[in-house]
Amino acid sequence: MNFKIDLNKDGKQIDINIDGEIDAFTAPKLKEAFEPYAGIKDLKVLVDLSEVTYMDSTGLGVLVGIFKNLRASNGDMTLRGLSDRLKRLFDITGLTDIMNINSEIEGGV
């Protein structure tokens, strides 16, 4: 299964680029990659999902967990590059009303 996480930290900004499927098998890798940064105050995270081909509820749960952790530490997360399918997943779950989804950048809707 193809799955790749590229995480770059620069001060209080983290850029996460994900490539592949985020599912029950790969979502724990995403959670593990973020764990060293959990609890850092005022952290801003930009997650690029433009190369994500599939995401299930496990992947969605990990992103929500990261989002909650960031908010608890006065941080924030922006998602970008959502495909039509991913955007619909966030719409159906009501997360588009809660999370910052920048749909005007690279492949967003």
> Which DSSP string corresponds to 63-87?
HHHHHHHHHHTT-EEEEE---HHHH
The domain 3-102 is placed in CATH, from the list 3.40.710.10, 3.30.70.100, 3.40.50.720, 3.30.750.24, at 3.30.750.24
**What pLDDT digit, counting tens, does each position of 40-73 carry?**
999 999 999 999 999 999 999 999 999 999 999 9
Structural tokens at position 71: 């908010």
Q: What is the dihedral of CA 41, 102, 85, 95, to 10 degrees?
A: 50
Q: How far apart are CA 94 and CA 51, in angstroms?
A: 22
Q: How far apart are CA 6 and CA 16, in angstroms?
A: 6
The full set of domain ranges for the chain reads 3-102
- Give the 3-state secondary structure of residue 8: strand
Give the pLDDT band of residue 109 (cuts 50, 70, 90): very low
Give the pLDDT band of residue 105 (cuts 50, 70, 90): very low
